[in-house]
Amino acid sequence: MRHIQEKFEELLEKHGLKKTPSRLSVLNILSSREVATSELYLEQKLGDKVNRVTLYRILKTFEGKGIIHKVLDQNGTANYAVCSPQCNEWHHHDEHLHFNCVVCNKVYCLDNIEFPDVKIPRGFKLESVNYTASGICKQCRKSADTKN
């Protein structure tokens, strides 16, 4: 646990951010989950430790610094996941598939799927690419299979 805490402290320092208990708690929750995490879930997990306004500011700051990225689920709810180490405040490198489960509404970041380069017309400037798919995650499929 101590090693992970040090890693988070180094990450905040790298991005010029103070190492506050609130920021470290948010990073700990986000990195411990295999799915993107909603602000509501974070509020519930953090309880009275971090108020809603502070949490909102932390998420906005982390997103702006390239520490986390935001992805919308099928209901339009913002969910957050830790970025790849190559991300920074000038460019996110999270061009991976976001899989929305239509049963449990969880959003998974699937990093190991190859995509072709996006070629845009001359005069356009590409800032980000978002790949989203929906279907049934393996947990929900497994649950459905055991019921049948």
Q: Report pTM.
A: 0.81
Which pair of structure tokens corresponds to residue 64?
């702006």
Rama region for 123: left / alpha / beta (φ>0; ψ in -120 to 50; rest): left
Domains in the chain, please, with CATH?
2-147 (1.10.10.10)
Helices (H), the chain: 2-14, 21-32, 39-46, 52-65, 138-147
Distance CA 27, CA 82 (A): 8
- Please report the pLDDT score of residue 94 as a whole number: 64
- Please report the pLDDT score of residue 57 as a whole number: 97
Distance CA 124, CA 115 (A): 20
Judge whether 130 and 97 are in contact, CB under 8 Å: no
pLDDT tens series, the chain, 148 aa? 567 788 889 889 988 999 999 999 999 999 999 999 999 999 999 999 999 999 999 999 999 998 999 988 888 999 999 886 666 666 666 678 899 999 999 999 888 888 888 889 999 988 777 788 999 999 999 887 777 6
Residue 82 phi/psi, 5-degree rounding, is -65, 135
